[in-house]
Structure 1
């Protein structure tokens, strides 16, 4: 179940189609001050990332929140299980590998002691797609 505060935040941002620096501050300092606590919260924030334009601070905040949840809140701590890697890679893949999705994947790779191949596959697909886009331009 989604926290009421987070649901209200998402509704507000969706209505204005923009995540401001102030929104990011409220999200980090008040709504998710103890971090993300469920997959549903990650899914909600990644959906919001695809739907709204955002201030520059959004990407870094989103990345930090997701990395902390996947690497340090989920067991085993410091490692990304096959189940979590498949789940996250599937979420990050929706609508193609966006810059924030790629930043999240790379940050997890940097921070975790072990990352399942599903997330590595996502990174490789994203890099290949970026390379193909550059060749087509």
Structure 2
């Protein structure tokens, strides 16, 4: 009875740890390197021991692909932030220009393209 309990508890803890590791790896885009590492550490252990250089090279390549993915994601996030900042500055300029021309802001709106239009006529303000 106690052996079954300890085996069940140990298996539960191992599965909980694996779940936690894969959740973190998913957030960091390291799922493939983690999966490969677990395979080479368990099922493919004899192959990894025989071909150690190849196994480590594959692991490092998978990690390099993940790092390249991080760099691309950071670059895209930076570009998106710059675009959003430019759009926000354009909105602010259009609002300031409308105020300087004494156009009431409740009579205009921004369309999907970011252009200020009159509410009644849908004509462009600028």
- TM-score, reference length from structure 1: 0.26
User: Which of structures 1 and 2 has the bigger CA Rg?
Assistant: 2
- TM-score, reference length from structure 2: 0.27
